[in-house]
Structure formats: structure tokens, C-alpha cells
Structure 1
Amino acid sequence: MKKSSAKSGKEDYRTEIQNCIATLKRGGLILYPTDTVWGIGCDSTNAEAVERVFALKQRSESKSLICLVNDFKMLNEYVEDVPEVAYDILKYAAKPTTIVYDDPIRVAENLIAEDNTLAIRVTKDAFCKELTKRFRRPIVSTSANISGQPTPNSFSQISPEILKGVDYVVNLHQSKKSSQPSAIIKLSNDGKVKVIRK
């Protein structure tokens, strides 16, 4: 397993992104800082990698995961029909906002919820934005905890079990306190809007 090593001087985004992409391409799991909390990530199009995330978190596959995308263009590549209201919600959102869309496409089957939906966040975080842009596909993002246990507020609170279960740990922002989880809004193709988490 390839883990991060301490670096001296300036944080090296480029090296970290290269290491993450290499890990993701071979079906590995990464532990990385997101625009909300520390997340466990994998290639959203790789069913075996998604299965590893569920296993590591000891989470039922009936509980869906979130994906991060780089921009609206990537969002449209993985959702059959993005409702127009989504763009307004994301444009004016005061905090990171995840939207649950109907009819996701081109992702692993075990990532799609039983009602044929997928939760996706257009990330504004510089590291996540560059990572998803360079990887050229959505990256799974789920909180770095065993299912049912508290979400870590910082890197130091992540359990040894999670740290050992991933293939690469990003060596950035490890001393920074995490933000709150994102807001979650469900947008149905029939026009219904449901706030799941504020």
C-alpha cells in the first residue's frame, strides 16, 4: 500500500494529485480532504472499488454514496437530464451543496441508489476541483468513518481502521479542522424539490 510521506516546505498539490490519480486508476481507495469533511474516495465508474468503500465503511449498499465532479460540463456527462433549477441552486448556494439527481449514467451500478438516483456535488475546493478535472471522471466522496460512528472533524480523529484500509492518504490540510457536511437537496425530474439535509 502506498501511503503519503511528509513533505518539507510548500504543499505540493501536483504530486498529491498525481499519486491520487495513480491510485484511483488501479482501483485503489484514497483518503483526501474535501470541501466539507475528510473523505474516502474511489473511481465512481469502478464497481469493485465502490464495493471496497462499502466494505471499509461497513455500510449497506442500500445507503448511497456521494460523488464529486469538477464543473457543470462533467455533471451533464453523468446525469441523463440535469433540471434547470439545479444550476440556480448551485450558483447561489452559500455552502457546499450536494444534489440528488434522477437517472445517473456511466457510473458503477452499485453506486446508483435503488430509486435510480445519485448524489453529486460540483466541488469548489481547489484540490478536489483539480483532482476531478485531471482524473476526468467523478470521484466518490464519503465521510472517513465506519458507518454509524461520528464523522471526524479533523484528520486526527480518523480511526486507524480507516487509515489502514485505504491505499493512499493525501498529505495536505491534515492540521485543518473540517467543515460541516454539505447540504443535500433532492431534485426529481417531475419538478419536486426536497431538502434532505440543510
Structure 2
Amino acid sequence: MLKQEIEKALTVLKNGGVILYPTDTVWGLGCDATNEQAVAKINDIKGRASDKSFIILLDTDAKLQSYVTEIPDVAYDLIEYAENPLTLVFPNAKNLAKNVINADGSVGIRIVKHDFCNQLIQRFRKPITSTSANISGQPTPLFFDDISDEVKAAVDHIVDWEQGLKTNKKPSTIMKLAPGGQFSFIRR
């Protein structure tokens, strides 16, 4: 079952589509983080400003150097020892769709520890976007059943995995890293 859902999601991602999928935090809207048109579709679905950046997901910290210019050593320690999902905001993003990257050149990256996401990203060989599955300004849906019909109707594929899961999940902690390794919390 998991393998089939990954195959379906892969096909959609490779064709520039948007998926509604479970993550290590809340349900997300995802697409190829290197495809500007796919990212624009998510902004349309959410009704959000096109200058708002995205979090991207990777399956391993070994891929960080492909998407950011400088990785302070502390980043690897933070990733390794984080007990809860952690998004790190790195300066100087590269090799991503320009509408994924923040105006200051930074990008938020989370290394996922979630079976579906990890296997999907590993097979896709590119990062995928992750943003909450809601219309901009509306509350973040904590469970699949909380996602609006409007969002569900707008995506190209809804992943049939963990839809009935009622584990209380929340958005990730977000920390901003400076080139020298200093960090600050954006969201706890």
C-alpha cells in the first residue's frame, strides 16, 4: 500500500502537480521545489502572496549542500539531536525555484523522519515543498478531516495514507541560522 501511494505521488510530482500528503507535522501541500510553475499552483490553491517563501523537505542532511551555499556545523548537531520536527532557515539558497526562496535569499529546510515523506523524497531525488493544507489566513488543519473541501478539490492527488490518524501533530519548530553558526528561534 505505501509503495503504491509513493508511486502515485511520484507521478504527480514529476508532472508538475500538487499533492496533499501526510508529513512528520501536519498535512501538507507539496510539489517539486525546483519547479516554479508547480510552486505557483500552491500559492493559487492557498490564495497567498507569491512572495511568501516555502519550507522544503529533504530525506537526508547529506543533500543540504545541494540547496544552500554554507552550512554551519551546528546545523548537523541540531538536526541529529532534535526530538521534534525542526525546520532550519539557511541563508543563500540555491538550485530551487525562485518562488520557494525568501526575499533575503534564505530557505527553510526540514529533514523528515516520516516513512512516507522520506521514501517519496528519496525516490523523487529532489526536495518537495511543505506548507499547511489550508487557505491562507485560515487555521492550520491538524487532521485530514479538518482540511477544507476547497483545498482537497484543488490538488492533483490526495495521498491515501494516514488519513484516519488522530495523533496530535503540530507545525515544526523553526530556527534561523546565521553563517557563523549563531541561531535564533522563529517559531517554537
TM range (shorter): over 0.9
Contact 1:75-1:122 within 8 A present in 2 as well: no
Identify which of 7, 21, 37 aligns with 2:10. Answer: 21
Report the counterpart of residue 151 of structure 1 in structure 2: 140
Contact 2:73-2:181 within 8 A present in 1 as well: no
The Cα offsets for residues 153-178 of structure 1, whole Å up to 9 and x where unpaired, read as 11011001100110000001001125
The reply on whether 1:183 has 2:159 as its aligned counterpart is no
How many angstroms does 1:55 deviate by?
1.0
What SS does structure 1 have at the residue aligned with 2:113?
Answer: coil
Alignment of 1:1-198 (within 5 A): 12-177=1-166, 178-198=168-188
TM-score, normalised to structure 2, is 0.97
| Letter paired with 1:51 | A
Contact 2:16-2:37 within 8 A present in 1 as well: yes
What SS does structure 1 have at the residue aligned with 2:153?
Answer: helix
What SS does structure 1 have at the residue aligned with 2:56?
Answer: strand
C-alpha separation in 1, matches of 2:111 and 2:181:
20
TM-score, normalised to structure 1, is 0.92
- Alignment gaps of 5+ in structure 1: 1-11
Q: Which segment drifts farther, 185-194 or 121-130?
A: 185-194
Displaced runs of 4 or more, over 6 A: none
Report the counterpart of residue 3 of structure 1 in structure 2: none
- Alignment gaps of 5+ in structure 2: none
* Count of residue pairs brought into register by the alignment: 187
Q: Which segment drifts farther, 172-181 or 16-25?
A: 172-181
| Letter paired with 1:115 | D
C-alpha separation in 1, matches of 2:64 and 2:105:
16
Overall identity of the aligned pairs, in %: 46
Please, what is the CA RMSD of the aligned residues? Answer: 0.9
